[in-house]
């Protein structure tokens, strides 16, 4: 049988340059790749800190871990029954998560993400948004009086600043853009029924009082881009694949459940 050809000296040098040794602990080497792997496993809040800033503390932690592990081996901690049980439990968890991750990587592809994005966008459709102002008043008569002033040429924003009891009054009653489902039903129905530039001909009553509404603009809100939605879609697909794998394994297995006291569970 032919053996593998040994690496050339140049290849060895190149490999060392790509993944240099960053520390040795009693002769045991720690490579840069091990540090970057440890960094990738840190909680999200720690990964907000750049690697070069957290590197000294992270490397010290890895050195301390190697020292403690070496001492544990000298004391045969790895031969104790407690350690073996913990290692077996960890191995099972790692095997299970590795299996699921492999299936996720195989199924949650760029193509699968693009297909799900197309479906989501189709289901969302184009959403209309309205930019409106309003003047909120306590009584219907007050609202009718405001509508009369507007019909006579009064400026809507000025009247809102003077007479509206709502929090948007000082800003000329400006509510900005909003879509369906963001306002109380009575207000939403009246606002979306108006054309751009139109004012309600009659006051609109809601739980907050009586409104006079003006629509400044209408626009069609485009769906988020694939780039914007990709993290959310990948997360959703990952959960789905994980659930499918778990359910599939359960369906194939014979499972018996018992209560805490060992009696058969109903």
Write out pLDDT tens, residues 177-233.
Answer: 998 889 999 999 999 999 999 999 999 999 999 999 999 999 987 788 999 999 999
The answer to whether 188 and 213 have CB atoms below 8 angstroms apart is no
Q: Are residues 120 and 131 in the same domain?
A: no
When pLDDT is cut at 50, 70 and 90, the band that residue 26 belongs to is very high
Instruction: Determine the average pLDDT of the residues in 129-157.
Output: 97
Whether 210 is in a domain gets the answer yes
Instruction: Determine the average pLDDT of the residues in 48-52.
Output: 93
When pLDDT is cut at 50, 70 and 90, the band that residue 2 belongs to is very low
**Secondary structure (3-state) at 45:** helix
Q: Which of 11-25, 133-147, 152-166, 177-191 has the lowest mean pLDDT?
A: 11-25
The CATH number given to whatever domain includes residue 24 is: 1.10.8
Q: Are residues 117 and 133 in the same domain?
A: no
Q: Are residues 199 and 134 in the same domain?
A: yes
Whether 1 is in a domain gets the answer no
Q: Are residues 173 and 187 in the same domain?
A: yes
107: which 2 tokens? 């199924």
Q: Are residues 93 and 71 in the same domain?
A: no
Helices marked H in 48-109:
51-74, 81-107
Q: Are residues 163 and 100 in the same domain?
A: no
Give the C-alpha separation, 130 to 175, whole Å: 9
User: What is the four-CA torsion angle of 215, 217, 220, 226, rounded to 10 degrees?
Assistant: -120
| Residues in the chain, total | 266
The answer to whether 168 and 159 have CB atoms below 8 angstroms apart is no
Q: Are residues 64 and 43 in the same domain?
A: yes
**Closest-CA residue to 150 (of 137, 136, 160, 165):** 160
Whether 154 is in a domain gets the answer yes
Whether 193 is in a domain gets the answer yes
Give the C-alpha separation, 84 to 123, whole Å: 52
Mean pLDDT of the chain: 92
**Closest-CA residue to 135 (of 191, 173, 185):** 173
The answer to whether 193 and 76 have CB atoms below 8 angstroms apart is no
Tell which of 42, 61, 79 closes a domain: 79
What pLDDT does 266 receive?
83
Whether 251 is in a domain gets the answer no
Report if pTM > 0.85.
Answer: no
Q: Are residues 96 and 166 in the same domain?
A: no
Give the C-alpha separation, 166 to 174, whole Å: 10
Q: Are residues 180 and 206 in the same domain?
A: yes
Q: Are residues 47 and 58 in the same domain?
A: yes
Tell which of 89, 107, 125 closes a domain: 125
Domain count, the chain: 3
Whether 150 is in a domain gets the answer yes
Domain of residue 204 covers 126-221
The CATH number given to whatever domain includes residue 162 is: 3.10.50.40
When pLDDT is cut at 50, 70 and 90, the band that residue 6 belongs to is low
Q: Are residues 130 and 214 in the same domain?
A: yes
Contacts 24+ apart (CB under 8 A), 198-202: 199/147, 199/150, 199/156, 200/147, 201/147, 202/144, 202/147
Whether 258 is in a domain gets the answer no
Q: Are residues 149 and 217 in the same domain?
A: yes
Whether 4 is in a domain gets the answer no
Q: How far is CA 196 from CA 126, 184, 185, in A?
A: 18, 20, 20
């Amino acid at each position: 049988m032919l053996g593998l050809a040994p690496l050339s000296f140049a290849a060895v040098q190149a490999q060392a340059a790509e993944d240099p040794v960053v520390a040795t602990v009693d002769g045991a080497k720690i490579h840069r790749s091990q540090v970057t792997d440890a960094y990738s496993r840190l909680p999200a809040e720690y990964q907000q800190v750049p690697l070069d800033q957290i590197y000294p503390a992270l490397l010290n932690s890895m050195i301390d871990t190697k020292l403690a592990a070496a001492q544990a081996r000298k004391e045969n901690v790895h031969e104790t029954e407690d350690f073996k049980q913990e290692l077996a439990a960890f191995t099972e968890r790692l095997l299970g998560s590795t299996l699921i991750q492999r299936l996720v990587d195989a199924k949650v592809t760029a193509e699968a993400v693009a297909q799900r994005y197309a479906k989501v966008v189709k289901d969302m459709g184009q959403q209309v948004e309205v930019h409106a102002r309003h003047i909120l008043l306590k009584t219907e008569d007050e609202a009718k009086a405001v509508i009369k002033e507007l019909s006579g040429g009064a400026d809507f924003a000025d009247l809102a600043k003077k007479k509206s009891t709502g929090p948007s009054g000082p800003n000329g009653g400006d509510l900005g853009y909003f879509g369906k489902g963001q306002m109380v039903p009575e207000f939403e129905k009246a606002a979306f029924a108006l054309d751009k530039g139109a004012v309600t001909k009659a006051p609109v009553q809601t739980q907050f009082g009586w409104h006079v509404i003006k629509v400044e603009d209408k626009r069609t809100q485009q769906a988020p881009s694939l780039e914007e939605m990709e993290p959310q879609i990948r997360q959703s697909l990952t959960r789905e694949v994980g659930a499918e794998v778990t359910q599939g394994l359960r369906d194939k297995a014979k499972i018996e459940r018992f209560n805490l006291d060992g009696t058969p569970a109903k």
